[in-house]
Structure 1
Amino acid sequence: MQTKMVVDFKLKKRTKILISCAALISVVTVGLFGAGLYFYKVAVVPAPKAFLSKPVKIKPGNVLYPAHKWYQEVTKARWHEISATDHLKLDANYIPAAKPTAKTAIVAHGFMSDKDKMFQYAYMFHHLGYNVLLPDASGHGDSQGNVIGYGWPDRLDYVKWIKKVIANNGTDSKIVVFGVSMGGATTMMVSGVKNVPHQVKAYIEDCGYTDAYDEIAYQANQLYHLPKFPLVNIVSGINWAKNGYTFKEANALSQVRKNRKPMLFIHGAHDHFVPTKMVYPVYKADRGPKQLLIVPGRGHARSYQNHPELYTQTVKKFLHRYIK
């Protein structure tokens, strides 16, 4: 009888421990999922982001002022396209070159940026004799959408913009795809798309990341001191369930391995938002003619601003080799 009581006591004790463990696991799981939903909104839902620098008013004397003034005054045509994956209306500005030309630069903006904030690059390409197309990515600017795609669904939208340029400007078009930050990653992702029109002659990427997972994991650590596992994996899983792809799939590194066309890689020497070290594996992985420019100075996506002459002359010489 006493032995049975001891056994029953032990069973009850073990049961309580198992129930407590199960309850703890449930609480932790619910907590992690809740945190995942919160960081999904931070990372993927278009909205003002506290961790991004606020725009600075550009005044006379600022190195960007001539480009900003020009962009405000230049005639811009509005172009529209339908997104490749979810039938959203996309918006773009088109600026024809001063003299008729078959050369066009398609300019891709960064995370929570828009076409109008790419004015300095439009200015640069315009003065190099190019037509310029500045699209708003899905979920940004005047384009529809409620998701930040990190370049992955956007790569197919940019192929549609490429085809629109060809339809508008002719089959003799000579196109360079250019992007900064998320736009740089988008540019690299475009380079690996099968059957990109042959009218694309070159790519230029400035401070793009290796893949969305690595960049989001880096920011989670930098901004919130959080390890990438399991939170980033949970957010990636939520993104897969909602939007059909994981952050690892949004992979510029794997895309440039498929590229055979010329690509210029640019990165600031002291970039702590998309760390400078990310440029080296994508540069190494690229299979086409390539060039790497590390621009002295601090800050993210500030290479043009820090050294406009070096930046412009490097782009000019690179394109002159491949686009006549």
Structure 2
Amino acid sequence: MKLLKNHWKKIIVGVIALFVLIQLAGGIFFYDLAIKRGPKEFLQNNADLDVADESMDLYLNGDWTSWVADQDFEQLTMTSRDGIELNGYFLPAAKPSGKLVILTHGYLGNAKQMGLFGMFYYQELGYNLFMPDARGHGKSGGTYYGFGWPDRLDLIDWTDLLTGKLGQQTEVVYHGLSMGAATVLMASGEEELPKQVKAIVADSPYGSVYQLFAYQMNRMFHLPAFPLLDSTSLITKLRAGYFFREANSLEAVKHTDVPILYIHGDSDTFVPLKNALELYNSTSSSTELLVVEGANHGESYAKEPGLYREKVGQFLGNIVK
């Protein structure tokens, strides 16, 4: 009988050990797949990211690309709190202005891709313009993607640097797209958010990193979130310094006093509209919501550029002097 018990104990220990090894291996695999810096082939031909041909043409060949190429941006650099060299591009307003917009790009993007929105702020609203490369992107350092969480502190430090450059009376607007939208929302709930931040525009945001990945694991790989996503979160904490559950826009906006404009497409299948609705309903500050009919993820501006600019202009016109 004793030998039989020992035999079963070994089997149980072996099964547990195998389970732990599988989870660790799976966690490392998905960390490398989504978090580690580098090309992400799994997103190619993803139907959830398909946009209309007209939208793609705007993103790739719109007039804004020539405008960006023609501007004499000042390249700024900054060392993050954890020692990463960060890069960004500053363009002073055409006429002296006390207004600054910081434009934060999406996952796998780069700073100058936000020139689509930057041209509007510069030409029509008269803002000073700053576009940073998020850590792990563009010319910024970093070996991983932060999905907004470490980036929120980078954003706050960029804001301090820029208001030091432009003057403490500068009024600052954050405008983010997708991961960039999550970044500005995560920053919004920080106690150390600079007082100069007066308004936020969040285009296609997600509620939390865990929520985003749980949805995508099911949609792309037909896998449940638990326990593999939790294993990936642990690997991410060890390698990149954050857990997925703490990277939470929804929690942050419950503590903000900065007015927020949410923009989302009603046909977004990559980050469904319900994310923006939940954020909108949970925000402690004054909020507005623009839902763009027929727009997929990040496609709202391309689908309704006039409506988009009108809404942003109206929203900011009521807040920023």
Q: Same fold (TM over 0.5)?
A: yes
Are 2:34 and 2:40, in contact at CA under 8 Å, matched by a contact in 1? Answer: no
Query: Residue deviations 1:250-269, cap 9 Å, x none?
Result: 11111111111211011111
* Whole-Å separation in 2 of the counterparts to 1:69 and 1:242: 39
Partner AA of 2:227 in structure 1: P
**In structure 1, C-alpha distance between the alignment counterparts of 2:309 and 2:32, rounded to whole Å:** 37
Partner residue of 2:119?
A: 123
Q: Tell me the equivalent position of 1:21.
A: 12
1:202 aligns with 2:202: no
Structure 2 residue aligned with 1:315? 312
C-alpha separation in 2, matches of 1:110 and 1:134: 12
Instruction: Give the corresponding residue for 2:217.
Output: 220
Q: 2: CA distance between counterparts of 1:135 and 1:173?
A: 18
Partner residue, 2:31: 40
Do 1:101 and 1:130's aligned partners in 2 also have CA atoms closer than 8 Å?
A: yes
Report the Cα distance in structure 2 between the residues aligned to 1:132 and 1:176, rounded to whole angstroms: 10
TM-score, normalising length from structure 2? Answer: 0.92
SS in structure 2 at match of 1:260:
coil
Aligned twin of 1:161: 158
**Equivalent in the alignment of 2:22:** 31
Q: Give the superposition deviation at 1:48.
A: 0.6
Residue aligned with 1:264, SS = strand
Write the distance in 2 (CA, Å) between the matches of 1:66 and 1:75: 17
CA apart distance, 1:93: 0.8
How many angstroms apart in 1 are the aligned matches of 2:104 and 2:24? 33
Q: Do residues 294 (structure 1) and 291 (structure 2) align?
A: yes
SS in 2 for 1:236: helix
Matched, 1:231 2:222: no
Could you report, residue by residue, the CA deviation over 1:118-169 in whole angstroms, capped at 9, with x for unpaired residues? 1201112112211110001111110011121111111111111111111111
Out of 189, 193, 216, which is 2:190 matched to?
193
Does the 8 Å CA contact 1:83/1:138 hold for their aligned counterparts?
no
Could you report, residue by residue, the CA deviation over 1:159-202 in whole angstroms, capped at 9, with x for unpaired residues? Answer: 11111111111122111011011110011011111132221110
Letter in 1 for 2:36: V
Q: Deviations over 1:203-256 (max 9, x none)?
A: 111111111111111111111111000001111112222333211111111111
SS of 1:298's equivalent in the other structure is coil
Kindly provide the CA deviation profile for residues 75-114 of structure 1, in whole angstroms up to 9, marking residues without a partner as x: 2110111112x11111001122221211110011111111
| Structure 2 unaligned blocks of 5 or more | none
Alpha-carbon separation, structure 1, partners of 2:183 and 2:58: 27
Partner of 1:6: none
Which residue number in structure 1 is paired with residue 86 of structure 2? 90
* Consecutive unaligned residues in structure 1, runs of 5 or more: 1-9
Question: Matches of 2:161 and 2:177 in 1, distance apart?
Answer: 21
> Larger radius of gyration, structure 1 or 2?
1
**Among 33, 36, 42, which residue is 1:51 paired with?**
42
After TM superposition, give the deviation of residue 14 of structure 1 in Å.
4.0
Which residue, 255, 267, 278 being the options, matches 1:258? 255
- CA drift of 1:53 comes to 4.6
Matched residues in 2 for 1:90 and 1:22: separation? 46
Alpha-carbon distance in 2 for matches of 1:68, 1:126: 14
Find the aligned partners of 1:205 and 1:175 in 2 and give their Cα distance. Answer: 14
One-letter identity of the residue aligned with 2:133: D
1:277 aligns with 2:274: yes
Structure 2 vs 1, CA of residues 323 and 53 (structure 1 numbering), >3 Å: closer, same or farther? farther
Work out whether residues 258 and 286 of structure 1, in 8 Å CA contact, stay in contact via their aligned partners in 2.
Answer: yes
Runs of 4+, deviation exceeding 6 Å: none
8 Å CA contact retained: 1:35, 1:231: yes
Displacement of 1:270: 1.0
Q: Per the alignment, do residues 285 and 306 of structure 1 end up closer, same or farther by CA in structure 2, a change over 3 Å counting?
A: same
Q: Percent identity?
A: 35
The TM-score normalised by the length of structure 1 is: 0.91
Q: How many residues align?
A: 313
